[in-house]
Structure formats: structure tokens, C-alpha cells
Chain A
Amino acid sequence: MTGRVITITSGKGGVGKTTATANIGVALARRGQRVTCLDADIGLRNLDVVMGLENRIVYDLVDVVEGRARLRQALIKDKRLPELTLMPAAQTRDKLAVKEAQMIKLVEDLRKECDFVLIDSPAGIEHGFRNAIAPADEVLIVTTPEVSAVRDADRIIGLVEAAEKPAPRLIINRLRPSMVKRGEMLDTKDVLEVLAVELIGIVPEDEAIITSTNKGQPVAFEDRSPAGAAFTRIAQRILGEDVPFMVFDDTSGLFDKMSKFLKR
């Protein structure tokens, strides 16, 4: 058994990589998949906080790589979903502590035990990004609908292509339908026109994300919130299901509608 390794990355920081990793992980695990979320943001870990598992960390990724702990000892089981585990990053170590080859080896070991390894990449194009990309079978790029974030996403897509990975897929996060409507925000079509990659999901701006992050309970545990439902649809698409894209409408909340133009 070898699981699929999916790295979630962006160029610009703070666009929602960690949020996406935690929620896609939860959504996949809720569908019975065995998922390991790996925090590759060494020195700035926070996937554990978003997943609500911070207080269970004893060993971390660097301990495993440097032989102080076995894989099983460092892996943290989720308190709600038995299929979900977390490999935490080290908080106190320098981000150069892990080499590319060590990361590849670690992920090779992890993937034997599960269906998916989701890697939460640090922002930027430096060492940490390269480490997160090296073991990936697939790459998801997160961007917000802002010109600067899209520009950085484009740069990252170029680097992913140069690393000879398959064409990455795109998550547009924090879309605000009311602003798009007023012409104050890039819409999905504008973003795709520049990036020319396949869209795997649109996640609306959602206050529930903030409360859920504070509680350590990712929104994807329930499908009630718009963002939670959006992450669930992304998980379904990862599993190969053909799920229609939502058109977000501000006044009436959400309504389902096939939007053909999104499918390139």
C-alpha cells in the first residue's frame, strides 16, 4: 500500500495553506481515507493548533529524521477521527534542520501506512518550500483572488513545473462574492486566465474559519458552513468524484449551479 502524497503550497504567505491542509485532511478522513497531515513549516508550526492537537506533541519531525524518535512515536492520532494523524513540525529548530533527501525518506515511510500524506508547505520559494515539494506526487496551489497572490502563485507554478511535477491544481480561497459582484475583486475567471491551471475548488471567505481555528476544530468536520462544504467538495474531487462547482451569490448565500466555464 502506498498513499498519494499531496503538497499544499502558495507563493504568498497567509493565504490559507494550513487551513486547507487541515480541512482537506479532515474531509478525506471523514470519507474513510487514512490521512497523515505533515507540517513542513519548521520553526513556524501551526497545523497542530489548527487541528487542535497541540497539547499532544511529544516528538516531532526533526526528532524522527535525526533518529531520536520512531515514526510511530511522533505521529499523533486525531482525537475525533481514528483515520487521521498528524506529523508535527519542530517549533524550536532552524528550518535548515531537515534536508531534501531526509524529507523524501520520511514521506516514503509515512505513505506506506496510509492513503494520503498531505504536506503543509511553508510560504516562499526557499529551502522549506523545496523540501515540501520534493516528495510530492501532486501539488495544490492556494491563492486568494488578489493580484499579488496570483502573481506569486504563478511563480510557484513555474517552479513546480521546473521540478518536473505534474501540473498543479488550484484552490482559490477567501473569495468574497459581494466584492466580485461590485467588480472590486478578481473573479475566478480572471485568476484562471493568468494561471492556466486546473481549478480544484473555490473556498469563500467565512467567519466560521476563524472561530474554528481558535477552537482547534476544522470547519470540515461539518458541512454546515460554506467553507466546510467547499473543503469537502475539494476532498471529493481529490477522490475523483465529479462534483459541480458552486457559484457563490452574496444575497442568497449559496446556490448550486453548474458553471461550465470553470472546467477547462
Chain B
Amino acid sequence: MTPISFKGTREGLHITLAPAPWREIMEELARQLNRPGAQSFFRGARVLLETGNRMLGVTELEELIALLAQHQMTLTSVLGETQTQDAFVQLRSAMPPPPENLQAEIESAPEHATEDLSALLIHRTVRSGQLIRHAGTIIVIGDVNPGAEVVAENDVVVWGKLRGVVHAGASGDTRAMVGALFLAPTQLRIGNFIARAPDEKRTQVWTAEIARVRDEQIVVEPWNAV
């Protein structure tokens, strides 16, 4: 088993870490990034890091971010344990800005292209203890279970049952929305607004719903009315 695997997606480069010793992972990553031809291929890429059940601390993440930065790559999303997520959030403020050339490219690109670039597609069940944080829109095809958390700077769309904690517009955008085929989150946040599940269990009906902020509060309406 190789300590890391790469997959190119529309959102950027998806790097998955195997449960190998940290040194091996860093060496392999450096080796891969320094391969002839790799420079031009990876340059400017956004990176989605999947850490599996490994817990990364601030030091380890910092080391990884620094290595990526050497190749003009930016870590934008982390999929993994809560502890790793916390480290990522801690570091995020201190992170180097996206490489100049990429920044320019994004700014000059038409609006829809930017949004396209920043959507993260998760095609599985997001389970208890897993946290997905992404700088754009998150689309989940599968359920978001109780105990899981999905945090997006734009919208969150769940093609399945949403029962965990969800936060759309995480950096304050109250125009963000949350949509799900079955919307029963433990807690739902949009920007700084918070709504939580009623304490009594409601009877479960399968209807697609959408939550957004209207007149300073979160309202939920059937999806077809949008």
C-alpha cells in the first residue's frame, strides 16, 4: 500500500493518506511533487486532503501546508477526524493566500466558473464524528448522520437525509442555503443564525426542504416552492 494516493477532480487535487507513519507520508508526497513534469501539473492546484482515521496535529498540518506551498498549491478542504479539523481551522487564518497567478485567474474568470471550481462533492454517508469543511459549496450524495458535521462557506445540498449539524455560509454569508431530501438536522446554521431541532421528535415525512434566512430568521420551505 502506498502511503498517499492522488486523484484529480474538478475541484482540484484529492489526496488521501493511508495509515502509514507520518515521515513516510511526507517523503512520498515530496517525491511525488518533485517528479519531472509534476511541477506544471500540480502548480496552482487546490488540495482536498482526506486523512481517514489518522489524527493530524497543528505541527503536522503546518508541515504539509508548507510543502504544498512550495509547489504553489493550497489546502482548501480537509475530510477527517474532528481533531484534524480543529487544527486546520486554527491554521487557516495563518495560511498563505492562494498563489498570485491563481488568484488573478479566479478574479478574471466569469462568476459561474468560480462557483463550479469551488463545489465539493461527497459521494457517501457522512458518519458520526466526521466533519467536512470546505471553502465553497458542499454537495453530499448520501446521508449526513447524527453526530456528523458539514460546514461550507457557501451552500450545502444533501441528496439524502440530513440529521447532523450543518453550517452554510460559515464565514458570515447569510445568502447561503441548506437543502436536503429530508431535512432534520440536529442544528442548522446559516451565517450567524442558528436553528435547532425541536426537542420532541417530529413525525418523519420524506419531503425535500430548503432552509434560508428571511427577515432575520431561518425559514424552512418545501423545495418545490423555490
Which residue numbers of A lie inside 8 Å of B, CB to CB? 100, 125, 130, 134, 151-152, 154-155, 157-159, 161-164, 194, 196
If over half of A's interface residues share one DSSP class (helix, strand or loop), that class is named, otherwise mixed; here it is: helix
Give A11's nearest chain B residue, CB to CB. B128
Taking the complex as formed, is B127 at the interface, i.e. its CB lies under 8 A from any CB of chain A?
yes
C-alpha spacing A155/B145, complex, angstroms: 10
Known: A154-B145, A154-B147, A163-B19. A196 touches B53 (CB 8 A): no
Please name the 6 residue pairs, one residue from A and one from B, whose CB atoms are nearest each other, closest first.
Answer: A158-B127, A162-B52, A154-B128, A155-B129, A155-B128, A159-B53
Give B147's nearest chain A residue, CB to CB. A151
Query: What sequence of 0s and 1s flags, for each residue 120-148 of chain B, a beta carbon within 8 Å of any chain A beta carbon?
Result: 00001101111000000000000101110
Q: B53 and A125: CB pair below 8 A?
A: yes
Return B163 CB to nearest CB of chain A, in Å: 8
C-alpha spacing A134/B54, complex, angstroms: 13
Q: B53 and A130: CB pair below 8 A?
A: yes
Q: B53 and A162: CB pair below 8 A?
A: yes
Give A162's nearest chain B residue, CB to CB. B52
Contact pick for B129, options A158, A164, A194, A196, CB 8 Å: A158
C-alpha spacing A100/B146, complex, angstroms: 30
18 residue pairs bridging A and B, Cβ less than 8 Å apart: A125-B129, A134-B19, A151-B147, A154-B129, A154-B145, A155-B147, A158-B53, A158-B127, A158-B129, A159-B53, A159-B129, A161-B127, A162-B53, A163-B52, A194-B145, A194-B146, A194-B163, A196-B143
Residues of A within 8 A of B53 (CB): 125, 130, 158-159, 162-163
Return B209 CB to nearest CB of chain A, in Å: 18
C-alpha spacing A105/B20, complex, angstroms: 16
Residues of A within 8 A of B147 (CB): 151, 154-155
Q: A154 and B127: CB pair below 8 A?
A: yes
C-alpha spacing A59/B19, complex, angstroms: 30
C-alpha spacing A130/B80, complex, angstroms: 16
C-alpha spacing A134/B80, complex, angstroms: 18
Give A125's nearest chain B residue, CB to CB. B53
Q: B128 and A151: CB pair below 8 A?
A: yes
B141-191 interface with A by 8 A CB criterion: 143, 145-147, 163
C-alpha spacing A157/B19, complex, angstroms: 16
Give A153's nearest chain B residue, CB to CB. B128
Give B79's nearest chain A residue, CB to CB. A162
Residues of B within 8 A of A161 (CB): 124, 127
B42-99 interface with A by 8 A CB criterion: 52-53, 80
C-alpha spacing A159/B125, complex, angstroms: 12
C-alpha spacing A157/B148, complex, angstroms: 13
Residues of A within 8 A of B19 (CB): 100, 130, 134, 163
Residues of B within 8 A of A163 (CB): 19, 52-53
Q: B146 and A151: CB pair below 8 A?
A: yes
Q: B130 and A158: CB pair below 8 A?
A: yes
C-alpha spacing A151/B148, complex, angstroms: 10
Known: A151-B147, A154-B147, A163-B19. A196 touches B125 (CB 8 A): yes
Residues of B within 8 A of A157 (CB): 127
Residues of A within 8 A of B143 (CB): 194, 196
C-alpha spacing A162/B79, complex, angstroms: 10
Residues of B within 8 A of A154 (CB): 127-129, 145-147
14 extra A-B contacts, CB within 8 A, seeds A159-B52, A161-B127: A130-B19, A130-B53, A151-B128, A154-B129, A154-B145, A155-B127, A155-B128, A158-B53, A158-B129, A159-B53, A159-B129, A164-B52, A196-B125, A196-B143
